[in-house]
Amino acid sequence: MELVYGKRNPAKVTSTKTMLDGLDLQIKDLCSLDHLPTVEESGISPLENAKTKAEAYYRLIGKPIFACDS
């Protein structure tokens, strides 16, 4: 399964790929989809920001998105 990670930070993407190694996932990040706009993080919590990004990018590309803000 292909999963898009809602990040453009190479270090965070590499760390996540390492943690998920061995699972049947192909992980892409937002850098591999450079035509996408940046989604504004206007939530009052990291969870709200992650949800906002995941929903916005899903609407743009129609693929599952994993977003995590901390």
Per residue in 38-56, pLDDT (tens digit) is 888 888 999 999 999 899 9
Domain residue ranges in the chain = 2-66
Positive or negative, the Cα torsion across 53, 54, 59, 65?
positive
Per residue in 12-31, pLDDT (tens digit) is 899 989 999 999 998 989 88
Strand order in the sheet with 2-5: 26-29, 2-5, 65-66
Q: What is the pTM of this model?
A: 0.77
